[in-house]
Amino acid sequence: MDCPSVLLIYTGGTIGMIENPETGALESFNFDELLKNVPELRRFNCRISSYQFDPPIDSSDMEPALWAKIVKIINYNYDYFDGFVILHGTDTMAYTASALSFMLENLAKPVILTGSQLPIGTLRTDGKENLITAIEIAAAKHPDGTPIVPEVCIFFENELMRGNRTTKINAENFNAFRSFNYPALAKAGIHIRYDAHLIRRPDPSRPLKPHYLFDTNVVVLTLFPGIRESIVNSVLHVSGLKAVVLKTFGSGNAPQKEWLIRQLTEATERGIVIVNITQCQRGIVEMQRYGTGLQLLQAGVISGYDSTPECAVTKLMFLLGHELPPAEVRRLMNSNLAGEITKDE
Ligand code: ASP
């Protein structure tokens, strides 16, 4: 019998909480309790095993060392499972999905992150459906036995999105995530409809290459009308700083202040990599379009294309973790490594 196998990695977050009937407080469940709350899992024609973070964490406490732990678990179990489902708090799920997409080079199996806005033990929970569909996607194969979605993705509220394209957009409703600059890879209704031409195809001859190192000497600097020279100066002179994600206006524009361009030019000359992403959720940076963008290009700022902030930060930390020279970090920031930017190459 062809029975696919899925490893569930439970890191924490709201999905794994159950209301204690005595105190009313939300508490993290033990994986042994999962079957009790989601008896539907028994009906899967699928072998499901689990690994639990001990203790489970609120995703606000997620950090690169824990991403490395997740990658170690996946790498160790890679040959034994057809797919992986990561249960994760929603707050930083987009960062984790972006980081994993770079850390799991040559990934050829599904790694699907999901979570929920309401705990799995509550009556109106969105967690059950998210979990069940995520497992189904992680186990899904083509007739020739290859996985349908060999990518790091987030599944949430009926949509399967490329992980490094996602942003958390809602702290209230069930549709917590959005992929503004890349269409959904699949939509789950009565059927799960995959959009095959949007899904990355791995090179089967290349083995999984896990990466573990990050350099966190990165800052996000958001421009706003009235931003002060002394503050920009302080940020750009922070000791150890190696890269800046500069959140600009519109299609990549900044105020035309002599001091701003001088400071950015000097920072670039000191080897700091400055990446321009837009404060708009949808759209792409085009620095040649207006004089207010062109001046940034001339200062040595590079385009982040249509990167999400989560993706730009994690990609920079990932590349800097390889101790590459600034010129190489810039080149790779402008290369499409895992489907994270829209760029014809
Ligand atoms: N604070 C929680 C977390 O991110 C929220 C959630 O899971 O939705 O861990």
Cβ(147) – ligand 1 distance below 6 Å: no
The pick from 63, 87, 91 for probing ligand 1's pocket by mutation, whose C-beta has the most ligand atoms within 8 angstroms, reads 91
Cβ(58) – ligand 1 distance below 6 Å: yes
For the cut 70, the answer to whether the pLDDT of residue 345 exceeds it is: no
Q: Which has more pLDDT, 164 or 42?
A: 164
The single-letter DSSP state of residue 335 is S
User: What are the percentages of helix, strand and coil residues in the chain, rounded to 5?
Assistant: 35, 20, 45
For the cut 60, the answer to whether the pLDDT of residue 292 exceeds it is: yes
| Closest atom of ligand 1 relative to the 58 alpha carbon | 9
d(CA 276, CA 336): 16
pLDDT of residue 120: 82
The pick from 26, 28, 60 for probing ligand 1's pocket by mutation, whose C-beta has the most ligand atoms within 8 angstroms, reads 60
| Closest atom of ligand 1 relative to the 59 alpha carbon | 9
Segment 218-255, tens digit of pLDDT? 999 999 999 999 999 999 999 999 999 999 999 999 99
| Closest atom of ligand 1 relative to the 57 alpha carbon | 9
Cβ(89) – ligand 1 distance below 6 Å: yes
Of all protein residues, the one whose alpha carbon is nearest to atom 7 of ligand 1 is 89
Residue ranges of domains in the chain, CATH in brackets: 5-210 (3.40.50.1170), 218-333 (3.40.50.40)
Segment 83-142, tens digit of pLDDT? 999 999 999 999 999 999 999 999 999 999 999 988 887 889 898 999 999 999 999 999
For the cut 60, the answer to whether the pLDDT of residue 280 exceeds it is: yes
What are the residue numbers of the active site? 14
Cβ(303) – ligand 1 distance below 6 Å: no
Average pLDDT, the chain: 94
Cα of 61 vs centre of ligand 1, distance in Å, is 10
d(CA 197, CA 337): 18
| Closest atom of ligand 1 relative to the 93 alpha carbon | 4
Exposure b/e, 41-78, CB count within 10 A at least 16 = b: beeeebebeebbbeebbebeebebebbbbbbebbeeeb
Q: What is the mean pLDDT of residues 314-331?
A: 97
Segment 173-201, tens digit of pLDDT? 889 999 999 999 999 999 999 999 999 99
Do the beta carbons of residue 320 and residue 338 sit within 8 Å? Answer: no
d(CA 316, CA 340): 12
For the cut 90, the answer to whether the pLDDT of residue 310 exceeds it is: yes
Cβ(215) – ligand 1 distance below 6 Å: no
Segment 22-63, tens digit of pLDDT? 887 777 776 666 667 788 888 888 899 999 998 889 999 999
* Nearest partner of 97 among 70, 76, 65, judged by Cα: 70
Cα of 320 vs centre of ligand 1, distance in Å, is 28
The two tokens of residue 75 are 């790498």
Cβ(13) – ligand 1 distance below 6 Å: yes
